[in-house]
C-alpha cells in the first residue's frame, strides 16, 4: 500500500501536467521506436543487396581485368561491371594515366597515380558506408528511448493509483505491462541494427582490402603496358 504522503508528493510534482497528461508521451515513444525499427530494416535490406551485388560484380570484373592485356581494353568493358567498386577505383586510375600520357606521353609521376588510386578506394568505401551511421545511432540510442518510455509509463501507472479506492497490482499491472512494451520495442530496434552494423562493417572492410590489392594489380598492368 502506498503511503498517503508519498502519493501527495507525486501529485505535487505534477508529472501529468509536465507531460501534457494521458498517454501522449509514451505513445510518442512507441511511434518513434516503430519508425526507427522500420528505417533500420530499410537500411539493412538495401545495404544487404548493395554489398552482395558489389561483391558479385567485383569478382566478375576482376576476372575480366586479369584476362586483359591493355588498360584501354578494360576501360571499354567497364560499363557492364558498373556495380563493382573496383570499377570506381579503375576509373580514377585510368583517368590519371590518360592525363599523364596526354601531357608527356608517359607516366611521369607514379606517386600521383598511386595517390589517385587511393582516392578511388576512399571514394568507394565512403559510398559503401553511406547510411551505416544510422544503424550505429539506432543501435546505441533505441534502448535508452525504450527505457525512457518505460519510465514514463510506470510513472503514469503509479500516479493512477490516486484515482482508485484500493491500490493493488491489479490496478497498476496493465499500466506497467504497457510501459515495458517500450523497452521491448527499443531492444527490437537496437539488436538487428547492432548485428548488421558489425556484419556490414566486416564486409566493407573486406571489399576495401580487395580494392587495395586491386590498386597494386592496376599499377602492375600499367607498368607492363609501358614496357611494350
Q: Lowest mean pLDDT of 42-46, 118-122, 148-152, 176-180, name the range.
A: 176-180
pLDDT of residue 100: 85
Say if residue 14's pLDDT is above 60. no
CA 135 – CA 218 distance, rounded (Å): 34
Nearest to 10 by CA among 176, 149, 161, 147: 161
Q: Which residue has the cell 581485368?
A: 65
Q: How far is CA 113 from CA 109, 167, 204, 223, in A?
A: 7, 77, 24, 12
Q: What percent of the chain has pLDDT over 70?
A: 80
pLDDT the model gives residue 164: 56
Average pLDDT over the chain, rounded to an integer: 83
Average pLDDT for residues 83-100, to the nearest whole number? 92
- Nearest 10 degrees: Cα torsion 135, 136, 137, 138: 50
pLDDT of residue 226: 66
Banded pLDDT at 177 (limits 50, 70, 90): confident
pLDDT tier for residue 199 given thresholds of 50, 70 and 90: very high
Q: In this model, does residue 48 exceed pLDDT 50?
A: yes
83/81 Cα distance (integer angstroms):
6
When divided into structural domains, the chain yields a total of: 1
What is the dihedral sign for C-alpha 152, 153, 155, 156? positive
pTM: 0.78
Give me the long-range contacts of 153-157 (CB less than 8 A, separation at least 24). Answer: 153/26, 153/178, 153/179, 153/180, 153/181, 153/182, 154/179, 155/15, 156/15, 156/16, 156/23, 156/26
Mean pLDDT (whole number) for 74-82: 88
Q: With bands split at pLDDT 50, 70 and 90, how would you rate the model's confidence at 15?
A: very low
- Structural domain including 221 reads 4-227
Is the pLDDT assigned to residue 165 strictly greater than 80? no
Q: How far apart are CA 132 and CA 34, in angstroms?
A: 19
Amino acid at each position: 500500500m502506498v503511503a498517503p504522503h508519498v502519493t501527495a508528493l507525486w501529485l505535487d510534482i505534477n508529472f501529468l501536467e509536465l507531460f501534457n497528461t494521458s498517454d501522449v508521451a509514451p505513445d510518442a515513444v512507441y511511434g518513434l521506436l516503430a519508425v526507427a525499427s522500420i528505417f533500420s530494416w530499410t537500411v539493412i535490406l538495401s545495404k544487404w543487396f548493395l554489398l552482395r551485388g558489389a561483391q558479385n560484380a567485383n569478382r566478375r570484373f576482376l576476372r575480366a581485368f586479369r584476362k586483359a592485356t591493355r588498360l584501354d581494353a578494360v576501360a571499354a568493358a567497364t560499363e557492364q561491371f558498373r556495380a563493382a567498386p573496383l570499377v570506381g577505383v579503375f576509373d580514377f586510375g585510368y583517368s590519371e594515366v590518360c592525363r599523364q600520357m596526354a601531357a608527356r606521353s608517359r607516366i611521369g609521376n607514379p606517386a600521383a597515380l598511386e595517390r589517385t588510386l587511393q582516392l578511388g578506394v576512399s571514394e568507394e568505401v565512403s559510398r559503401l558506408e553511406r547510411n551505416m551511421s544510422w544503424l550505429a545511432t539506432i543501435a546505441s540510442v533505441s534502448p535508452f528511448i525504450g527505457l525512457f518510455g518505460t519510465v514514463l509509463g510506470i510513472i503514469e501507472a503509479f500516479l493512477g493509483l490516486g484515482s482508485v479506492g484500493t491500490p493493488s497490482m491489479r490496478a497498476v499491472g496493465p499500466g506497467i505491462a504497457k510501459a515495458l512494451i517500450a523497452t521491448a520495442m527499443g531492444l527490437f530496434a537496437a539488436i538487428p541494427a547492432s548485428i548488421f552494423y558489425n556484419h556490414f562493417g566486416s564486409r566493407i572492410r573486406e571489399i576495401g582490402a580487395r580494392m587495395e590489392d586491386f590498386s597494386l594489380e592496376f599499377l602492375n598492368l600499367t607498368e607492363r603496358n609501358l614496357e611494350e
